[in-house]
Amino acid sequence: MTRDRGLRPVLLAAVLAALLVVLCLLSIALGALNIPLDQVVRALFGHPDSTRVENVIWSVRIPRTALGLAAGAALGLSGALMQALTRNPLADPGVLGVSAGASFAIVLSVAVLGVGSVLGYIWFAFAGALVASVLVYLLGGLGRSGQTPVKLALAGVAITSLLTSLTSAIALTDPDALNRYRFWNAGSLADRDGGVVLQVLPFLAVGAVLALSSAPALNSLALGDDVAASLGRRLGLVRLQGVAAVTLLTGGAVVAIGPVVFVGLVVPHVARVLAQQAAIGPDHRWLLPLSAVLAPCLVLTADVIGRLVVRPSEIQAGVLVAFIGAPFFIALVRRRRLAEV
């Protein structure tokens, strides 16, 4: 019995890794031009059937898939990290205004300062994400009852609405900012090249290292601040590391694919269910990597479906993710409100 329980995490990891590989192959194969999987495999190993197939795979599909992997993993990690740091099951970069803050800062930098490169406005994305997260955290703690999950979520929705309105107002007054805003506002993997992936990848990698290395401290933090402090955790340092990781991950993801919401909300909950089934429990040393694998699965699935349902046009991945995540968010809020009554 103990041996079976020990094998469950390994089996879960193997199944999720296989699922991610299959979704990557489907992402490369399917779209306006469907490419048979055998041709995809041959092209990946340097034996394409035609120049056209080779160009589509290496110039369009692989950068798009790599972007879905990197940005999806970043959003999943940041969501799981935010929920652990705030002990709030409603926390998510999109819900709590972090993505909206990054978007606002990017559009502001384009419209006011004329910034036109990814490496130029990614720093503004980080600053906007950080300022928005601090504002939401402060607003969520106002009142006699202090900070609660529902109040934090409501503060996030308010800040998101405000920043989205300001972003739209700035974009409408500046043609260059408007073109860039429309390019990624809906959350899409389309029309991105390999250069974007390479430019944001170092920031996402540093954010991922910070997030994953904080897993043992998050396990202590889940027991309460007093217990975590008695175990030798420096709470201020743990939270600072978490904020830095969320800022890097969310800012980089928003720069790459736009403000995709609900990925960081839905995925950690699914990861917890799978961890429970695999007898892992609430161990962030597993929950964070699981979220990092499940999130790109969700993003790539939404992207592939979006390419197929209205072919040869497509629906942005962010729209389909929101279609899944919005009812999930409403159900969580209702459950939390009932629990507080």
pLDDT in tens, 1-27: 455 556 788 888 899 999 999 999 999
Instruction: Answer whether CATH 3.20.20.450 is correct for domain 66-340.
Output: no
Measured distance CA(229)–CA(239) in Å, rounded: 13
Note the helical H segments in the chain: 2-29, 37-44, 51-55, 62-86, 98-113, 118-140, 149-173, 175-184, 194-213, 215-221, 225-230, 235-257, 263-277, 284-309, 317-340
pLDDT in tens, 57-105: 998 899 999 999 999 999 999 999 989 988 888 788 877 788 888 889 8
Does 336 have pLDDT greater than 70? no
Q: Which residue has the tokens 């799981």?
A: 80
Measured distance CA(85)–CA(217) in Å, rounded: 10
Does 206 have pLDDT greater than 80? yes
Find the mean pLDDT for residues 98-120.
83
pLDDT reported for residue 176: 67
Measured distance CA(93)–CA(84) in Å, rounded: 13
- Angle at CA of residue 232, ends 227 and 234, nearest 5°: 95
User: Which structure tokens are listed for 14?
Assistant: 């193997």
Sign of CA dihedral 155, 160, 161, 165: positive
Cis status, amide bond into 289, omega within 30 of 0 = no
What one-character DSSP code corresponds to residue 158? H
pLDDT in tens, 164-202: 888 888 878 877 667 666 656 667 787 777 788 888 999
Find the mean pLDDT for residues 288-300.
94
Would you put residue 232 in left (φ > 0), alpha (ψ -120 to 50) or beta? left
pLDDT reported for residue 339: 47
Amino acid code (one letter) for 188 = S
Confidence of residue 341 (pLDDT cuts 50, 70, 90): very low
Q: Report the chain's mean pLDDT, rounded to a whole number.
A: 84
pLDDT greater at residue 68 or residue 334:
68
Find the mean pLDDT for residues 324-336.
71
In this prediction the pTM is: 0.87
Between 91-95, 209-213, 220-224, the lowest mean confidence (pLDDT) is in 91-95
